Amino acid sequence: MSSSDQNSQANDSSVNQQAPVDTSNNSTTHFGYKTIEKDDKISMVAGVFHSVAKQYDVMNDLMSFGIHRLWKRFTIDASGVRPGNKVLDLAGGTGDLTAKFSQLVGRDGKVVLADINSSMLNVGRDKLRDKGLVQNIEYVQANAEYLPFEENTFDIVTIAFGLRNVTDKDKALRSIYSVLKPGGRLLVLEFSKPEHELLNKAYDFYSFNILPKMGELVAKDGDSYQYLAESIRMHPDQETLKGMMENAGFEQTTFKNLTGGVVALHKGYKF
Amino acid sequence: MLTSKIANELLLPQVLTAALELLINKALLLNINKGLSLQTVSEKTLTLELAELAFPLSFTVSSQAKVMVSSLTERSDCTISTSVSTLKKLKEEQQITQLIKQGELDVIGDVKIAQQFAAIAQSLEIDWQSELAKHIGDVPTHKILQFGNKVTKSLGKHSTLLQADVGEYIVHEKRLVASSGQVKRFNQQVADVSNKVDKINSRINTLFSQLSSKK
């Protein structure tokens, strides 16, 4: 199924920008505003990211006016990474966080860039190799719900702008908890709910009217960016995600709103 | 001083560290001093805690000889807590002990790391003329630098003159100039004298009128 087909229904919903009522049950989940079978989500999300992989970095800069770089820097600063640490950059895509972590953990450390999507992983690997970052980075194609690592492996796990695309977020959080070492921490950087109503409205207008057009113009794929806007609205808000992390076993869970809550950084520890 | 909350809301630490990182790595790229090597500080971190900033600045040299700037404090090999004004005094090494005693400077960790970072910064050499010529050509570069030199010389001349005038004022003239308090007191005294003169004038007029009525 092409991304265009996947989102034909989503396009109609751009008229009404309010997120629909959650109608998902145990066997279904969301793909943007659509309710779909859980088994279909992976391939549908894969379709989106195969389509945008090559233009991903350019689009990120355009869509966020470059602010995504500051959000990622904030994540690095909040991670407390030390030389020798083992870091898992989950849904790491084109490797922005991996590049920074790789230089901060040094020769004795290790960074694993994991993504479920092979196209994103390839773009990330090429980009990092072009930067000369080769010595302490490993690449793994993995599903966040079934992480192929031993228990208690990583000091830090990050997932930046990836959790909302995961089919079963609770399962993914439990899987992440399992691979973290005691004392390790998870950092979730994700779009969230703006704190102020005015900002929320402006953000809605931008997301549903301008963003898909930019996607069409630059990446020749407006539908994928329509999905992006919808998936952000369907993602749990700050407090809900905090609760989900706590349910998965994380302790001292906190979140910090960035840019008025457009993005939030959640942090939780495994003890 | 910027409060930590406002700085974080505006992502100021990230803006500043990103700008510094860009500047430093660009400067390293343009460096023409072949003797400069980052090997001595490879994978080392120097952290600056400035009184004027609500967040620390950490400079880490990666094994790829890139400098990374962050607000991380967890991995520092040497942390210097001071202020911008004291930072300028650090050029004179003999002052360091005195500054620590005065509480203006606090160093935690290996001070050699800080010295190695400082040595690298001082040995940076950038041929601005060649860099500019690459972009705008030789002749415009020559003209711009000629103009720049003239402006610098002229500014230097004016600065010397200004310094001399200010010095003259501070050393000699300032002592002779009446203070605002003195001027105020003088004005009060003049007003008092004026009042007394008015009273005497009125008294004389009264006496004259009494004299003329007796005649």
pLDDT digits (tens, 9 = 90+) for A178-197: 999 999 999 999 988 898 88
In chain B (215 residues long), the average pLDDT of successive 10-residue segments reads 66 91 90 80 89 89 88 84 81 75 85 86 82 83 86 87 86 81 93 95 93 83
Do the strands A263-269 and B45-50 form a parallel or antiparallel pair, or are they unpaired? unpaired
Q: Is A111 on the interface with B (CB under 8 A)?
A: no
Q: Is A69 on the interface with B (CB under 8 A)?
A: yes
pLDDT at B203: 94
DSSP conformation class of B179: P
> Considering only CB atoms, which chain B residues are within 8 Å of A258?
11
- Give me the percent of chain A exceeding a pLDDT of 70: 81
In a domain, A34, yes or no: yes
Between helices B138-168 and B128-136, what is the axis angle to 10°?
Answer: 130
> Considering only CB atoms, which chain B residues are within 8 Å of A104?
60, 62, 68, 70, 72, 75
Sequence ranges of the domains in chain B: 4-126, 130-214
Q: How far apart are CA B13 and CA B193, in angstroms?
A: 65
pLDDT at A20: 53
> Considering only CB atoms, which chain B residues are within 8 Å of A70?
11, 14-15, 18
| Least confident piece of the model among A89-93, A141-145, B109-113, B173-177 | B173-177
Q: Is A77 on the interface with B (CB under 8 A)?
A: yes
pLDDT over 60 (residue A255): yes
Q: Where are the beta strands (DSSP E) in B11-104?
A: 45-50, 57-61, 67-70, 78-82
What strand order describes the sheet that includes A137-141? A137-141, A110-115, A86-90, A154-160, A180-191, A263-269, A251-258
Q: Is A258 on the interface with B (CB under 8 A)?
A: yes
DSSP conformation class of B41: G
pLDDT over 60 (residue A103): yes
pLDDT over 80 (residue A152): yes
In a domain, A264, yes or no: yes
DSSP characters for A224-244? HHHHHHHHHHHS--HHHHHHH
Task: Verify whether the Cβ–Cβ distance A104 to B68 is below 8 Å.
Answer: yes
Task: Verify whether the Cβ–Cβ distance A73 to B14 is below 8 Å.
Answer: yes
Q: Are A175 and A144 in contact (CB under 8 A)?
A: yes
- Residue B156 class from Cβ within 10 Å (0-12 exposed, 13-18 middle, 19+ buried)? exposed
In a domain, A67, yes or no: yes
Domain that holds residue A228: 26-269
Task: Verify whether the Cβ–Cβ distance A76 to B66 is below 8 Å.
Answer: no
Task: Verify whether the Cβ–Cβ distance A258 to B11 is below 8 Å.
Answer: yes
In a domain, A213, yes or no: yes
pLDDT range class, residue A70, cuts 50, 70, 90: very high
Strand partners of residue B106: B81
pLDDT digits (tens, 9 = 90+) for A213-227: 887 887 777 777 777
Closest alpha carbon to B48 in B65, B69, B18: B69
Report residue B26 as tokens.
């660009």
CA distances from A25 to A141, A169, A175, A228 (A): 28, 14, 21, 22
The enclosing domain of A205 has a CATH number of 3.40.50.150
pLDDT over 70 (residue A23): no
Q: Which residue of A has its CA nearest to B73?
A: A80
> Considering only CB atoms, which chain A residues are within 8 Å of B18?
69-70, 73
- Homologous superfamily of domain range B4-126: SCP2 sterol-binding domain (3.30.1050.10)
* The total number of structural domains that make up chain A: 1
Task: Verify whether the Cβ–Cβ distance A83 to B75 is below 8 Å.
Answer: yes
Q: How far does B132 lie from chain A, in Å, by closest CA?
A: 26
Do the strands A34-37 and A28-31 form a parallel or antiparallel pair, or are they unpaired? antiparallel
Strand partners of residue A254: A267
Q: Where are the beta strands (DSSP E) in chain B?
A: 45-50, 57-61, 67-70, 78-82, 106-109
| Least confident piece of the model among A24-38, A102-116, A247-261, B163-177 | A24-38
pLDDT over 50 (residue A13): no
Q: Are A133 and A110 in contact (CB under 8 A)?
A: no
Between helices B12-30 and A67-79, what is the axis angle to 10°?
Answer: 100
